[in-house]
A and B are shown apart, each in its own frame.
Chain A
Amino acid sequence: MHITLTVNGKQREADVPSAATLVELLREHLGLVGTKVGCGHGECGACTVLLDGEPVNSCLVFAAQCDGREVTTIEGLRRNGALDRIQNAFVDAGAVQCGFCTPGMIMSAAALLASNPKPSRDEIEEAISGNLCRCTGYVKIVDAVELASAGTVSDRAGSD
C-alpha cells in the first residue's frame, strides 16, 4: 500500500506491504537504520521513535497507521550536522557503551524533556523504564538526561 508521511521534517512516500511495521518502513524502505530492533515485540524499547511527538515502539506500529502523520527518529535529532543537546549529554555523561539501546533511549528522553523539561531522577527512570540496557546499569543514562535538562552540555559538531 502507498503511504505518505513526514519523517524528520521531510515528506516521504513509500509502498509497503500492509503488514509492514513502522520500523520496517524506516529501516528497509527509507534507509533509516539508526532505529534498532532488539526484540520485535515491544519489550526492549530499542526501536523507540516519536510518532506525532509521542514515544512508540516502532515494531508495534503498522506503517499504514502512520499515513499522514509525523515521525521523528534518531537521525532527525541532528540539526545542520550538530548533535542535539541530549545526544551531547549522552556523550558527556559516559552514558553510551555498546550503543544498541542508545537511539531508543535518547528518543524516550527526548519525549520526556519535551513534556517535562526539568524531570526528577525518578521521573527519568520511569520514562526510560521501557528501554532495556544491559551494559550501563542506567546510572549514567539518567545522569545524561539530567544533564540535558540542565542545558550545560558540550556543543559537538559530530563527524560529518
Chain B
Amino acid sequence: MSKREIQDGPPERDRTAAVGAPVKRVDASDKVTGRAVYLDDMVMPGVLHAALVFPGCAHAVLRGVDASAARSMAGVRSVLTADDIPGENQVGVIDTDQPLLPFDRIRYEGDAVAVVVAETAVLAREAADAVSVDLTELPGVFDAVRAMEPDAPLVHESGNVFLHDKVRKGDVDAGFDAADIIVEREFRTHHQEHCYLEPLAALAVPADNGSMTVYGTMQCPFYVQKAVADVLGLPLASVRVIQTVTGGGFGGKEDVPSEICACAALAAWKTGSAVKLVYSREEDFLRSSKRHPMRVTFKLGAKRDGTFTAAKIRAVADGGAYTTLSPVVVFRAAAHATGPYEIPNVWTDVYGVYTNRQTAGAFRGFGQPQVIFANESVIDEVADAIGMDPVDIRLKNCLDVGKRTATNQLLTESVGLRETLELARELSGWDGKRAAQGGRGGEQPGRASDARDHIKRGIGVGSIYYGVSLGAKGLALDGSGAHINVYRDGSVRIGVGGTEMGQGLLTVLAQIAADSLGVPVGFVHVERADTSVVPDSGPSVASRTTLMTGNAVIDAARKLRTVMGEVAADSLGLDPSEIEFDGGTVGSAEKNVTFAELAEQCWVRNVSTAADGWYAAPESTFDENGQGDAYAVYSYATHVAEIEVDTETGRVTVVRITAAHDVGRVMNPVTLEGQIEGGVLQGIGMALYEQMKSKGGAVVTPDFSTYIIPTAMDTPAIRTVFVEDPYSKGPFGAKGIGETPAMPGAVAVANAVSNALGVRFHELPLTPERVRRAVSERKNS
C-alpha cells in the first residue's frame, strides 16, 4: 500500500492539474526584468526621508535627547522622540516591554531614541548624527548564563529570567537507572543573522482624514497594522498595511518590521507627508532580531540495543533586550528538544533570559536548530559508545504513527520520518561510505581515500521534526483568510493575508485555486497581502502559510462552486450534484459551459461571484508539565552530509548533501526543491561560517565582509527527495516546508566532521580555528 493510498482522500478533489506540477513562478518575469517594485523602488512625490538616532551604548539611563542642532539644519522637517508619540509607546508583539522609542532606559545598541525627518535621506542621516543623547552608562550583561546569576545587572526590573518552559514525561530518574549507557554534554550556538538580501524598509503615507497607509517589506502585515494603530492611537480600520515585494524574510521580517513601519508612520503623522525609512545593511544588523544563542546541556540514556530510555535537557536562550518572540521560540525548543524520537522519560527545562544584546526572535527553525545540534550530536555519541550505526539508532527510536512525542502526543497520521531516514541512507550511499571512512567515527579517524593525507572525509546524518504552524501557544493567531473574486470573463483575483517573501506562496496559492475552481492556473492572479482585504490572518511564519492560507483559498473556492454550480445547473438543465468544475469547463461530460461563460451568466443574473474563505487551526494543548497535543501535525526531514576536512588548515568543505523531506504533498516540485536547496545552504552557514559577534553589546561583524554567509562556491551537490505522507487536514494533503530545510543540515555537517576526525564538536560554527584546535587536541591526547 503506497503512502498516497493510505489517506482518506484529499480534502477537495483528486483531479489536480496544477497542484504537484512544476508551474513557473508567477512573479518570476517581473523579478528577472527588474520590474518588481521593492519598497525602496517606490517613488512618491514630496516624500520625506527618515533616519534613526542610535544611543552608541548598550545599557544606560536615558536622561534626554538634544535635537536643537539637528532641527536648525536646512531641510530638516522634524525630530521625534518618545514624547511625540500620540498613542502607546509600545511595539512588543507578545509582551509589552518594548517601547518604540525608549524614554528612560537604553537596553541595547539598536535602541533608537529619535527619528529624524528631512528632505533627503543623506540629510536625514547627517542630522541624526547631529542629535546628542544624554546618557548615564550602566554595566551591561552580554551572556545569558551570566545574566541568570543573582548579582547580574538587570535588563528589566522584573528580572532577567523571563521565560521557563518545561516538559515532564514519565520518570526520568527511573529511565536513567534503566539505561546501559548515559552521555551528557554541553553545547553552544551563537547569534545567526538572517541576511535577507533586501534590508528592512518602510513607506508611510498619511491621509487628510487621519488614516495611514503603510507599505513595507514584511512577513506579517497584521502585526504592523496593530503596532502602527497602537503607536498613533488610531483604530485598526484607519491603518492599512500593504506588503511590497519582499526580498527574503526567514523570520527576520516577522515582528521587526513593526518597529521600522511604526517609526515611518509616526514621522508621517507628525509631518503630514509621506515618509520613507530604509535601513543600511549595518543598521539592519544592529537593529534586527537574530537566532537565539543557546547553551544546551543534553543527557541521554539508552539500552545496549540502542533503545532510548530517558532524556534530560536544560537550555538557556539569550533573548536579548526585549521579549519579542522568545515565548514561542522557547516553547518550540522545549516541545521539540528530544528530537523526533519516542523517549518514555523526559525532563526538559528551557529558559529565556534578557541580556543587553540584540533581540533574538524568529529565524527559520524557531529555536529548534540549537537544540537539534545538541540532540543529534549526543545520539551519535551514544551510537558510537554502543557500536551502533547512527542511522540504525535513529530508525530504532524514530517517531511513527502510533508513537508518542515528548509531550505525550499520540501521532495518528502523516509521519514520514522513517522513510526520510531510509531514503537518505540509500541515496547517499551511506552504508558503504560510513564503513570506508572508519565506521565508528568517534573511535578512529576517517581514512583518506586519496593521496592527500591531510584531507579526511566524513559522512554524517541529522533528523528533525517540526510542529507545523503556531501550536498551543499561538492559537489566538491561528486563523487565516482568503477572498476570491471571479470577474465576468472568468479570470480570478485572490486577496490573502499570507505573504510572499520569496518562498513561492503566490504561485502555490494560484495552483491551489486553479485546481479548486477547475480552471487553468493562468486564470488566477493572487495579490500580495493587504490588511484591507481579509480578516487578520496571523503571521506568515512557522511553515504555516501554504497550510493555513491554502485551506482558506479552498474554503472560498468551495463556496463559489456551490453558488456558480447552481447557476450552471439551472442553465444546463442538470441537477447541482451533477456539476463538476474541471479543465476550465463546468457541467457534466455531455452538457457543459466554459468557466468564463458561466462567470458571464452569473454576472447577467446578478449572482455574486466573490467569496470569503477561512481556516482555523485545530485545537492544540501544552499543560503546565509540557504535556499535550502541542501541534496539529509535524513535518519531518533527514539530511546526510558528506564533507572533506583539511587537517592542516582546519577548513571544512561540504561535498554533498542528501536531503529527504516528508512534506505531506508536493505542491510544486521546483519551488519546493529551491526552498530545500536554500535551506541546506543556511544550514551549512550555521555549521561552518556564521557567528554574529559583539563586544560589550556592540556588533563587531556588521556587514558581509565580517559576517560570512555561503557563496555559490560553497554550494555542495544537493540531492533532494520528497516523501509524500499526506495530512488529512492539509490542502491537497500538504504540510509546512518553510523551515525544515534549514534545520538538519548544520548538525549533519558537524556529525560528518566528527566522523572524519574522530573528535566531537560542542560549539558551532566549525571555523577553521575550532577544527584545527580539535585536531591538535586529539593529537596531543
List A residues at the B interface (Cβ < 8 Å). 27, 31-41, 43-44, 46, 73-75, 77-78, 83, 87-88, 90-92, 94-103, 106, 124-126, 128-142, 156, 158-159
Which of B40, B196, B712, B715 is the most central at the interface, judged by chain A CB atoms within 10 Å of its CB?
Answer: B712
Establish whether residues B674 and A75, one from each chain, have CB atoms under 8 Å apart when the complex forms: no
The answer, yes or no, to whether B536 is at the interface (CB within 8 Å) is no
Cα A79 to Cα B245 with chains together (Å): 25
Whether A91 pairs with B29 at a CB distance below 8 angstroms is: yes
| Structural contact, A90 and B248, CB atoms closer than 8 A | no
Tell me the complex Cα distance, A106–B504, Å: 20
Looking across the interface, which residue of chain A has its beta carbon closest to that of B501? A98
Compute how far the CA of A37 lies from the CA of B121 in the bound complex, rounded to whole angstroms.
14
**Residue of A whose beta carbon sits closest to that of B685:** A134
Decide if A98 touches B248 in the complex (CB within 8 Å): yes
Q: Are B677 and A136 in contact (CB under 8 A)?
A: yes
Q: Is the CB of B197 within 8 A of A133?
A: yes
A87/B32 in contact, CB under 8 A: yes
- Please pick, from B245, B679, B715, the residue contacting A125 in the complex, using a CB distance under 8 A: B715
User: Is B605 at the interface (CB under 8 A from chain A)?
Assistant: no
CB distance from B120 to the nearest CB of A (A): 10
Other than A35-B34, A132-B711, give 4 A-B pairs with Cβ distance below 8 A: A98-B248, A132-B197, A137-B674, A137-B678
What 0/1 readout, one digit per residue, does chain B (33-44) give for beta carbons within 8 Å of chain A? 111111011010
Our pick among B30, B36, B679 for the contact of A137 (Cβ within 8 Å) is B679
Do the beta carbons of A137 and B681 come within 8 Å of each other? Answer: yes
A106 and B704 alpha carbons, distance in the complex (Å): 20
CA distance in complex: A141, B681 (Å) = 14
Contact A39 B31, beta carbon cutoff 8 Å: no
CB distance from A80 to the nearest CB of B (A): 13
Contacts of A88 in B (CB 8 A): 32
- The verdict on B670 contacting chain A, using a C-beta distance below 8 Å, is yes
From A34, A38, A96, give the contact of B281 (CB < 8 A).
A38
Cβ-neighbour of B712 out of A34, A39, A142 (below 8 A): A142
Complex contacts, A83 vs chain B, CB 8 Å = 29, 32-33
Question: Do residues A87 and B33 form an inter-chain contact, with CB atoms below 8 A?
Answer: yes
Return 14 A-B CB contacts under 8 Å, by A number: A32-B34, A35-B34, A41-B281, A44-B281, A74-B32, A95-B674, A97-B675, A100-B196, A102-B31, A134-B709, A138-B677, A139-B718, A158-B29, A159-B35
Indicate if the CB atoms of B715 and A94 lie closer than 8 Å.
no
Q: Are A91 and B28 in contact (CB under 8 A)?
A: yes
A117 to chain B minimum Cβ distance, whole angstroms, is 19
- In the bound complex, what is the Cα–Cα distance between A21 and B237 (angstroms)? 42
- A35, A91, A137: most-surrounded residue (chain B CB, <10 A): A137
Given contacts A90-B28, A98-B501, contact A129 B197 (CB under 8 A): no
Q: Is the CB of B34 within 8 A of A44?
A: no
A39 to B61, CA, bound (A): 32
- Confirm or deny: B48 has a beta carbon within 8 angstroms of a beta carbon on chain A: no
Centre residue among B33, B675, B703 by max chain A CB count within 10 A: B33
- The distance in angstroms between the C-alpha atoms of A79 and B29, with both chains bound, is 14
- Name, among B25, B34, B41, B680, the residue most crowded by chain A CB atoms within 10 Å (CB to CB): B34
B247 at interface (Cβ–Cβ under 8 A)? yes
CB proximity of B764 to chain A, nearest CB, Å: 18
Chain A residue nearest to B281 (CB atoms) is A39
B604 interface residue, CB < 8 Å from A?
no
When C-beta atoms are compared, the residue in chain A nearest to B32 turns out to be A87
Is there contact, CB below 8 Å, between A159 and B30?
A: yes
Chain B residues at the A interface, C-beta cutoff of 8 Å: 22, 24-25, 27-38, 40-41, 43, 194-199, 245-250, 280-281, 501-504, 670-671, 673-682, 703-705, 709, 711-713, 715, 718
Q: Contacts of B673 on A, CB cut-off 8 Å?
A: 94, 140
Query: Are A137 and B680 interface neighbours, CB within 8 A?
Result: yes
Contact, CB under 8 Å: A97 / B281 = no
Contacts of A136 in B (CB 8 A): 674, 677-678
Q: A125-B715, A129-B713 are in contact. Are A99 and B674 (CB under 8 A)?
A: no
What are the 9 A-B residue pairs with the smallest beta carbon separation, nearest first?
Answer: A34-B34, A98-B502, A99-B31, A100-B247, A137-B677, A43-B704, A74-B34, A33-B41, A94-B670
Assembly CA distance A102 to B43 (angstroms): 21
**In the complex, A156 Cα to B31 Cα: how many Å?**
14
Q: List the A side residues contacting B680 at CB < 8 Å.
A: 137
Query: How many Å lie between the Cα of A125 and that of B34 in the bound state?
Result: 22
Residue in A closest to B677 when the chains form the complex, CB atoms: A137
**Cβ of B704 and Cβ of A44 under 8 Å apart?**
yes
A140 engages B713 (CB within 8 Å): no
Min CB distance A121 to B, Å, is 10
Assess the A97–B29 pair: CB atoms within 8 A.
Answer: no
| Given contact pairs A43-B703, A129-B711, A138 touches B246 in the complex (Cβ within 8 A) | no
Q: A137-B681, A139-B715 are in contact. Are A92 and B32 (CB under 8 A)?
A: no
Determine how close the nearest CB of chain B comes to the CB of A112; give it in whole angstroms.
Answer: 12
Asked whether B709 lies within 8 Å of A132 as measured between CB atoms, the reply is yes
Residue of B nearest to A81 (CB): B33
- In the complex, the chain B residue whose C-beta lies closest to that of A159 is B29
Q: How far is the CA of A22 from the CA of B34 in the complex (A)?
A: 17
Interface centre among B197, B199, B674, B715 (most CB of A within 10 A): B197
CB-based contact B29/A41 at 8 Å: no
Nearest CB of A to B216, in Å = 14
Shortest beta-carbon distance, A99 to chain B, in Å? 3
Contact yes or no, A99 B247, CB < 8 A: yes
Q: Which residues on the A side are within 8 Å of B29 (C-beta)?
A: 83, 87, 91, 156, 158-159
A residues less than 8 Å from B703 (CB atoms):
39, 41, 43
Q: Which residue of chain B lies nearest to A91 when distances are taken between CB atoms in the complex? A: B28
Q: Report how far A75 CA is from B32 CA in the complex, Å.
A: 9
A94, B671: Cβ atoms closer than 8 Å: yes
Bound CA span A131–B249, Å:
18
**CA of A87 to CA of B35, assembled, Å:** 12
Separation of A83 and B219 alpha carbons in the complex (Å): 30
Instruction: Give which listed residue, B198, B679, B704, contacts A100 with CB less than 8 A.
Output: B198
A69 to B80, CA, bound (A): 44
CA–CA, A106 to B35, complex, Å? 14
Query: Which residue of chain A has the shortest Cβ distance to B670 in the bound complex?
Result: A94
CA distance A128 to B712 in the complex (A): 7
For A92, give its contact among B24, B250, B715 (CB under 8 Å).
B24
Nearest CB of chain A from residue B448's CB, rounded to whole Å: 23
A31 vs chain B, min Cβ distance (A): 8
Q: Complex Cα distance A77/B248, Å?
A: 24
Q: Which chain B positions have C-beta within 8 A of A159?
A: 29-30, 33, 35
B245, closest chain A residue (CB) = A99
| CB–CB B713/A126 < 8 A | yes
